Amino acid sequence: MALRSKQQTLAAPISCSGTGVHSGKEATLTIKPAPENHGIRFFRTDLPGTQGIPALFSRVVDTSLATVIGENGIIVSTIEHLMASFAGMGIDNARVELDNYEMPIMDGSAAVFSQKIKEAGIIVQAAPRSHFIVTHPIEIADGDKFVGVYPDEDFRITCTIEFPNPLIGRQTISILLDDDSFLTKIAPARTFGFLHEVEFMKQMGLGRGGSLESAVVVSGDSIINEEGLRFPDEFVRHKLLDCIGDFSLIGMPIRGHIKTIKSGHLFNHHFITEFFKNRRCWETMTPSES
């Protein structure tokens, strides 16, 4: 798949409303087209006069339950599903407006965001689209957690998860990321949790917006959701979705193959930090330069 040589934005604004999965607060999200070299920026419309927060790893302030970015005391929480949609659908520039601090969880996947982007349409802009070209491997490991990136002609992600649960076990998925594969194979995969964890989070005042409409809930060897799974391996597909969102915070598309094993938001963030420490292992260029 040839890398896009030009930046892209939405052809028209899109909007949706829903509940924050952790806060339980209602929020309205509006995404507007943005000019070249604007990048993805989040604006809190409930806090007039505040500056936009760039969607970059350097602005990440918390990864305990979700990916949270912040600046000057202003935060936007749970951005990973929307960021995955931007990366998966090829959106480089967008103004994201939110009237609360946490993104609406919708159905627990990236399907709503991605489908709305598709329906709005995409505009190719004149400015060139730069890429990180991986030239040498970069790897980090901590116990059984692992993230690495390797040279490749395209952008691929291979994700492996493992849970001591008979419904999940060890699952691996590998994808060459493009608009169609993301929209149909990854975006619909929902976040998931275990019933005992959900009950504990509720007791701790967390997960206030979680429900069977916004997550797959596992109890023992059963799925509580009446409709069951959307994919036999929906669990690993969703973890790959999270990875796409987290790695998009590098700031530019990658030409390389990312491999993760039992990683999460925090370890993905550690990897991005390591990525920028290893300047000799990558270079930046546009497809026309290469």
Query: Which top CATH class is 131-284?
Result: alpha beta
Under 8 Å between Cβ of 83 and 13: no
- pTM, whole model, 2 decimals? 0.93
Whether 122 contacts 89, CB under 8 Å = yes
Q: How far apart are CA 282 and CA 149, in angstroms?
A: 10
User: Do the annotations mark residue 196 as ligand-binding?
Assistant: no
Query: How far apart are alpha carbons 279 and 7 in whole angstroms?
Result: 24
Nearest to 224 by CA among 248, 251, 265, 193: 193
> Is 246 among the annotated ligand-binding positions?
no
Domain ranges of the chain: 6-128, 131-284
Query: 242: annotated binding-site residue?
Result: yes
Residue 196 known to be catalytic: no
Catalytic residue among 38, 131, 257, 265: 265
- Show pLDDT as tens, one digit a residue, over the chain (290 residues): 457 899 999 999 999 999 998 888 999 999 999 999 999 999 999 998 889 999 999 999 999 889 999 999 999 999 999 999 999 999 999 999 999 999 999 999 999 999 999 999 999 999 999 999 999 999 999 999 999 999 999 999 999 999 999 999 999 999 998 767 899 999 999 999 888 776 666 666 655 556 788 899 999 889 999 999 999 999 999 999 999 999 999 999 999 999 999 999 999 999 999 999 999 999 998 766 44
Instruction: Give the whole-angstrom CA distance, residue 290 versus residue 276.
Output: 21
Q: Nearest Cα to 260, choosing from 179, 184, 174, 163?
A: 174
Distance CA(65)–CA(78), nearest Å, equals 8
Is the CATH code 3.30.230.20 the one for domain 6-128?
yes
